[in-house]
Amino acid sequence: MSPRRNRSRRDESGQLDSARLRQGAESVQQWRDGDWQVRLISGGASVKTYRCPGCDQEIRPGVAHVVVWPAQGWGDLTDRRHWHSGCWRARDRRAPIVQRGRSAPRHG
């Protein structure tokens, strides 16, 4: 019989550096329009106001959200977009947001 471990295995897996904790965990997600690199941003790490392309509403500081950019390597930092998490998950089920001026007709 082997002796019992007093430490959890989580302690042995290595420490996450502080930059990775601030930036969030990354993953690659596959959608109909290609592969996207997705980074989860916690509410504590969110310090600026962004505009969500899914709903055209503001993402205020302190609100958890996702940052998305193309995973194939095409694009640069200007291709990153900040989305509400729910808007990102529902983007295949929504029509695109059409930007209109104040004097444009609402229907048509």
Residue 3's pLDDT is: 65
Note the pTM of the prediction, 2 decimals. Answer: 0.63
Residue 84's pLDDT is: 94
Give CA angle at 39 (89, 72), nearest 5°. Answer: 90
Overall average pLDDT of the 36-44 stretch: 91
Q: How many CA atoms lie within 13 A of 35 on its CB side?
A: 8
Give CA angle at 25 (17, 83), nearest 5°. Answer: 135
- Report residue 99's pLDDT band, with 50, 70 and 90 as the boundaries: low
CA distances from 72 to 40, 84, 107 (A): 19, 22, 37
pLDDT tens profile 47-93: 999 999 989 999 999 999 999 998 877 667 778 899 999 999 998 88
Residues pairing with 59 in the sheet: 50
